[in-house]
Structure 1
């Protein structure tokens, strides 16, 4: 009996490789979904980091407002540096510190990097 006939029993069709193609397509699709989930998770983490740094920077600047705008903004810059974000602006409106930061997160063509704004100042009522 020829060797090709021994590998295929009666009524068996030859393997066309369709399962390999479907498996490869499934692996590619799952890899794409995993990469998209990873990118989305990284973007969310960068956004949260930017929001936290803006909040803490504004609170730090407002708590040192009595020292003047420059030293207070330097406090906000130190907070931003330690949290791994870039301080874009530190402005004052009356006694309120207005902080804007940008995170170093994943950027996709056409989308801006994650950024956040925060405002902090004195309260009218004592604690």
Structure 2
């Protein structure tokens, strides 16, 4: 009987570790996704600011972020340098990332 209880406890602990690892893996994937969306949105805004593509820089950033499943919530321009912040929902949380793009100094 004691062996059965110990085996059940070990199995429960193992299951908890697996569930925690799966959650951490999912969070890591979402973090990479939102970082990529922020990078792409900032590049799109910088391209629009430089005249390489048509349109308003922050509108372009919002379009690109939306196409990648994210929401652009902040966009700032300093001459040709664009700084864009995006977010993606993850369960009860919002995962955010900020990226900057423009010509080198």
In structure 1, stretches of 5+ residues that fail to align are: 1-16
Q: Secondary structure of the residue that 1:87 maps to in structure 2? A: strand
For residues 40 and 106 of structure 1, what CA distance do their matches in structure 2 show?
13
Residue of structure 2 equivalent to 1:121: 102
CA gap of 1:103–1:52, structure 2 versus 1, over 3 A, is same
**Displaced runs of 4 or more, over 6 A:** none
1:50, CA displacement in angstroms?
1.0
Counting matched residue pairs gives: 102
- Larger strand fraction of residues: 2
Residue of structure 2 equivalent to 1:55: 39
Structure 1 vs Structure 2 CA RMSD: 1.9
1:98 matches 2:74: no
In structure 2, stretches of 5+ residues that fail to align are: none
- Pick which of 77-86 and 38-47 moved more: 77-86
Residue of structure 1 equivalent to 2:59: 74
Residue of structure 2 equivalent to 1:5: none
1:122, CA displacement in angstroms?
2.6
TM-score by length of 1: 0.71
For residues 20 and 86 of structure 1, what CA distance do their matches in structure 2 show?
51
1:35, CA displacement in angstroms?
1.0
1:62, CA displacement in angstroms?
0.7
TM-score by length of 2: 0.84
Q: Secondary structure of the residue that 1:35 maps to in structure 2? A: helix
